[in-house]
């Protein structure tokens, strides 16, 4: 069932028309990365301390279902943004490229369609399933102790599923890089969890791993990034306020994203090696 599910996700991303630019055959996203986490992984409980008590575990979300049921697995994926779109965004210094903005709005609509497709596939196979991002219990908390947050974090779910680790700009660095969209579905289908082959939750980021890089700091046009991390308030004001106001109408979208700190950086499309690779760092700790 795991292999059949993965093939379905791969096929949907590769063939579905929604993963195409308007009037073009070029895709928003390349081949996805897929990972699995146990629904009862202690990380999901720990996130209540890391993110906030409002962050819901898979079990808490499943209890909101009618009737309630017991989840077994969190299915996660990363949709890498196409190389052509990333290349165009590298050249930008103030606002995102049009292709990046279209990927943020229409590509994320495709990501939502993928969530619904995975749920439908599992339900048709006789299982319970839901997408946390589309769940009625999903809430956003703009003034939480960690800044803007929500009751389900796709990034933290993806980390639990072994898809990557966190970066200085709060994004997730996967084996295919930091420029992507994430999604997840919770189900009662039991699937063996993916391994987390990292030394710690930040080991893919050169800044945290060895104190080098910091390229994303210089890519931010409004100073939302520094050696101390990511100022979510400044970032959100720019991404959801200033950028759409400046280019949204011209690009024909409401949500533009930004992505400057996710392009023209060493982790754009890979885990940067640096002086010590993440795997070598882990092997060193275990020896």
159 located within any domain: yes
Q: pLDDT tens digits for 146-178?
A: 878 899 999 999 999 999 999 999 999 999 999
286 located within any domain: no
Mean pLDDT over each residue of the chain, to the nearest integer: 94
pLDDT at 279 over 60: no
Q: What pLDDT, on the 0 to 100 scale, is given for residue 282?
A: 57
> Residue 208, class by beta-carbon neighbours within 10 Å (0-12 exposed, 13-18 middle, 19+ buried)?
middle
281 located within any domain: no
Short-list 136, 146, 120, 119, CA closest to 53: 146
Q: What pLDDT, on the 0 to 100 scale, is given for residue 274?
A: 82
Q: pLDDT tens digits for 29-73?
A: 999 999 999 999 999 999 999 999 999 999 999 999 999 999 999
pLDDT at 227 over 90: yes
18 located within any domain: yes
Report residue 72 as tokens: 């077994």
152 located within any domain: yes
Give the span between the Cα atoms of 244 and 187, in whole angstroms.
36
Q: Which residue segment(s) compose the domain that 52 sits in? A: 2-274
For every residue of 5-44, DSSP letters joined together read HHHHHHHHHHH-GGGS-TTS---SB-SPEEEEEETT-HHH
- Give Rg (Cα) of the chain: 18
187 located within any domain: yes
pLDDT at 286 over 90: no
Short-list 17, 37, 178, CA closest to 109: 17
Q: What pLDDT, on the 0 to 100 scale, is given for residue 148?
A: 82
What is the count of structural domains for the chain?
1
268 located within any domain: yes
Give the span between the Cα atoms of 39 and 42, in whole angstroms.
9
């Amino acid at each position: 069932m795991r292999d059949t599910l993965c093939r379905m996700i791969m096929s949907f991303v590769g063939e579905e028309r929604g993963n195409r630019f308007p009037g073009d055959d070029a895709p928003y996203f390349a081949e996805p990365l897929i990972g699995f986490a146990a629904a009862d992984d202690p990380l999901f409980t720990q996130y209540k301390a890391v993110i906030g008590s409002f962050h819901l575990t898979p079990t808490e979300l499943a209890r909101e279902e009618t009737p309630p049921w017991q989840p077994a697995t969190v299915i996660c994926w990363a949709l890498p943004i196409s190389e052509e779109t990333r290349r165009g965004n590298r050249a930008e210094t103030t606002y995102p490229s049009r292709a990046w903005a279209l990927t943020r709005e229409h590509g994320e609509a495709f990501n939502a369609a993928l969530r619904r497709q995975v749920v439908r596939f599992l339900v048709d196979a006789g299982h319970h399933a839901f997408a946390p991002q589309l769940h009625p219990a999903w809430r956003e908390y703009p003034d939480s102790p960690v800044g803007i947050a929500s009751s389900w974090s796709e990034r933290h779910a993806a980390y639990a599923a072994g898809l990557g680790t966190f970066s200085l700009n709060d994004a997730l660095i996967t084996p295919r890089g930091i420029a992507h969209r994430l999604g997840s579905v919770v189900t009662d289908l039991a699937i063996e969890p993916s391994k987390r082959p990292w030394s710690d939750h930040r080991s893919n980021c050169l800044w945290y791993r060895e104190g080098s890089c910091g390229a994303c700091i210089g890519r931010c046009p409004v100073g939302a990034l520094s050696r101390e991390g990511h100022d979510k308030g400044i970032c959100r004001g720019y991404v959801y306020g200033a950028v759409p106001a400046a280019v949204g109408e011209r690009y024909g979208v409401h949500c533009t994203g930004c992505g400057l700190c996710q392009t023209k950086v060493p982790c754009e499309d890979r885990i940067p090696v640096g002086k010590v690779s993440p795997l070598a760092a882990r092997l060193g700790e275990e020896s």
